[in-house]
Amino acid sequence: MTEEQRLSTVEKVLFLKSVGIFAHAAIEELGRIAMLMQEVRFEPGETIYSEGTPIDSIHVIVQGRVTVQSGGRVVREVGEHHVVGALAALDRGVASRTVTVLEPVHALKLSVPDFQDLLAADFDLVKAVFRLVAEQIRTGF
């Protein structure tokens, strides 16, 4: 990972407002979420998650693209404004897919315990996660 300019809390809040599962949240709540998130960067070829390994955080992609693979087969490519790792984080399970970086990725990382605490306190976030799960089931993700 390379060290580059960091986002301010305001920039994180504005970005999170544009991400589906956080779009419903009030600015104050987004500020609290932004403070919990750590900025991370990955280079092409790096693996964010490996199929079958425990998930300790979710990632919201700010910039860049990743491939999502199952059994060595590319299922999908995703980029900016997408969340990866959320499904396994729901039950503190293992990654059901391998996520590999295609082009440099700048992401916001949220630990699984913090994600679950947010879900426990915000029913609208729970509904947004269910929408994400339903979308992924419908699209075969």
pLDDT in tens, 36-86: 999 999 999 999 999 999 999 999 999 999 999 999 899 999 999 999 988
Q: What percent of the chain has pLDDT over 70?
A: 94
Is the CB of residue 59 less than 8 Å from the CB of residue 34?
no
Domains and CATH numbers, the chain: 9-139 (2.60.120.10)
Which pLDDT band holds residue 96 (cuts at 50, 70, 90)?
confident
- d(CA 9, CA 12) in angstroms, rounded, equals 5
pTM of the model: 0.87
Q: What is the pLDDT of residue 141?
A: 59
b/e per residue 8-44 (b: at least 16 CB within 10 A): eeeebbebbeebebbeebeeebbeebbeebebebbee
Angle at alpha carbon of residue 85, lines to 111 and 66, rounded to 5°: 120
Rounded average pLDDT over 3-32: 88
- Given this model, what pLDDT does residue 1 score? 40
Residue indicated by tokens 């300019």: 5
Q: Is the pLDDT of residue 133 over 60?
A: yes
54 CB neighbour count, 10 Å cutoff:
12
Q: What is the pLDDT of residue 88?
A: 80
Which stretch of 26-30, 92-96, 112-116, 130-134 has the lowest confidence by average pLDDT? 130-134
Whether the per-residue pLDDT at 97 is higher than 60: the answer is yes
Which distant-in-sequence residues (6+ apart) come within 8 Å of 117 by Cβ?
none
